Amino acid sequence: MPPASPTSPESSSSPSVGRRTVLGAAAAAVPVLAGAAAPARAAGAARRSPRALPGGGDLGPNVLVFDPSTPGIQAALDQVFHQQESAQFGTGRYALLFKPGTYHGLNAQIGFYTSIAGLGLSPDDTTINGDVTVDAGWFNGNATQNFWRSAENLALVPVNGTNRWAVAQAAPFRRMHVRGGLNLAPSGYGWASGGYLADCRIDGQVGPYSQQQWYTRDSSVGSWLNGVWNMVFSGVQGAPAQSFPNPPYTTLDTTPVSREKPFLYLNGGEFRVFLPEKRTNARGVTWGGGTPRGTSLPLSQFYVARPGVSAATLNQALAQGLHLLLTPGIYHVDRPIQVNRANTVVLGLGYATLVPDNGSTVLKVADVDGVRLAGFLVDAGPVNSATLLEIGPAGASADHSANPTTVQDVFVRIGGAGAGKATTSMVINSRHTIVDHTWIWRADHGTGVGWETNRADHGLVVNGDDVLCTGLFVEHFNKYDVQWNGQRGRTIFFQNEKAYDAPNQAAIQNGSVKGYAAYKVGDDVTAHEGWGLGSYCYYNVAPSIVQHHGFAAPNRPGVRFHGLLVVSLGGNGQYEHVINETGSPTSGTSTTPSTVPAYP
């Protein structure tokens, strides 16, 4: 059932927090809170210029905010889930936010394009005695399409001692405290293809069971049960020891550089956005010792965007010095959103989705310090875009090591929800950029899918030096999924499938090479390092296709890899090697990985 039409928003000039109700009678008492009033500075600017945009404002009808006394919470959660459970390419977008306090007897089932989060500074400020559940009943127990959902900043006390989070790509589990165990598989232990967990404490055991791959960063776990193909850990207390390929654990004691994702929280009755500080050689959670380290911004310093707003208005807000908060919904932009100011925050709620019109780029970041992009989806439009997201202009060279740009839970989709094309999805030109969890996906199912219908040559192109990717998922592109030209790049965890729908061997021929590598390091690169990288092929249209290798890189001492694997899924296509001319070929239909523990 779609949400009821909203009532008129209350005045943003009121110092009190406004209320509205959504989702009809079943959740009539569930409030959506308005933002704090615009500051005097912004109000003064508005008097000087009638067209000046205010900061703060209402979070819109698809942000549901609960407190422990709210009646009908379970009914509201169930209604959102009923709408979103199987809406894989639907238009609904929701954020479920819980004020600090203790909640009892809840089971928040999380469907597509739904985010659930606590509004405290620490996960332990908001405790749910109950579960935050993802399962796969909608898809007959197969969790490989449980995309686009998230859980953040909550403490859970699971009813039966173990919380179930059976997800695939683009479904982060961040800043969570599970006072028990965590099961990453669906009921019945069907297929699963995840996933990402960061800044979490799991007191009990994490059981991946059928999960094919998983990346865990800067967390603490009681224990870890098993691994299928590729389990990667960096900065994780309690992680299993390095043992790739048997068991397939790639373990780094620390994460070289990390900065957690910005998040919305309540300070009294005021919404603020917390900006965690950068850590080097990090290990464990950021919040374990009390108040996390970082700074915060009032919501009054954000332009609170609603679907239907134009790119020109978003750019006006940025030019005024405001940050952007994208409330849940779908936004069409006819020109790039231009982020030109250092330390700008662009934060999405509830999988806010940006779609380019007329082949434009969706968002461009100048070569400045400290920009934070987080929590939104970019969906390619029917007219080809040369690029969808650009971090820094071509030739960017400034040193951002002290204050890098971060791209976190920013996901890209080409096709699936409709026809879409983009030559390159994401281009990183700025030095020291951190990409912390992305899924860049040329759709293999849904609407508008075909070898040329949703043509997309490259997923990620890195031209900047000193770029770090932690949790990189890139799939199904027509040519190189990842092309890395910058020096001293590092990737911790990579998951890839080659395009399913190649019509024949000739369609993927790369000069004299059979197929484009999933991850290609440029011929001129002298220093690069990767840990825990996997590429899978499933050429179901032409199963006789041979892919020469999953990975390609220059043979130099400074170019190093740890824990590489390739897998043929059911014998639909085969790899001749893992990297360059190294690694045994895949064969048969057993989905047995071919591995290279270290290269060279």
DSSP conformation class of 291: S
Give Cα separations from 393 to 347, 389, 462, 463, 472 (angstroms).
Answer: 21, 11, 12, 10, 22
497 given a catalytic annotation: yes
Reference 514, options 489, 537, 540; nearest CA is 537
* CA 143 to mean position of chain CA atoms: 17
User: Kind of pairing, strands 31-33 and 19-21?
Assistant: antiparallel
Reference 331, options 303, 359, 362, 358; nearest CA is 362
Count how many residues are written for the chain. Answer: 600
- Tokens 């009190």, residue? 16
Where helices occur in 305-423 by DSSP H, the ranges are: 311-319
Exposed/middle/buried for 100, CB within 10 Å: 0-12, 13-18, 19+? middle
Q: Would you say 153 and 203 are in contact if contact means Cβ atoms under 8 Å apart? A: no
Reference 52, options 312, 316, 305; nearest CA is 316
Q: Would you say 34 and 6 are in contact if contact means Cβ atoms under 8 Å apart? A: no
Residue 84: its H or E element: helix 73-84
State both tokens at 442: 């040329």
State both tokens at 126: 């908001």
Catalytic: which of 152, 260, 390, 497? Answer: 497
State both tokens at 181: 């165990």
Q: Would you say 310 and 300 are in contact if contact means Cβ atoms under 8 Å apart? A: no
Torsion of CA 280, 286, 289, 290, to 10 degrees: 130
Distance CA(345)–CA(184), nearest Å, equals 31
Where helices occur in 332-428 by DSSP H, the ranges are: none
Distance CA(125)–CA(287), nearest Å, equals 11
Exposed/middle/buried for 40, CB within 10 Å: 0-12, 13-18, 19+? exposed
Reference 508, options 451, 449, 444, 433; nearest CA is 451
Reference 233, options 561, 532, 596; nearest CA is 532
Residue 45: its H or E element: helix 40-48
Distance CA(19)–CA(11), nearest Å, equals 11
Residue 567: its H or E element: strand 559-568
Distance CA(337)–CA(328), nearest Å, equals 17
**Radius of gyration from C-alpha coordinates of the chain:** 23
**Beta bridge mates, 530:** 491, 561
Q: Which residues are within 8 A (CB) of 354 and not within 5 positions of it... i.e. 6 or more apart?
A: 326, 331, 333, 337, 362, 363, 376, 377, 378, 379
Distance CA(571)–CA(140), nearest Å, equals 24
State both tokens at 68: 């422990």
- Tokens 């399913």, residue? 500
Distance CA(93)–CA(349), nearest Å, equals 9
Residues marked active site are found at 497
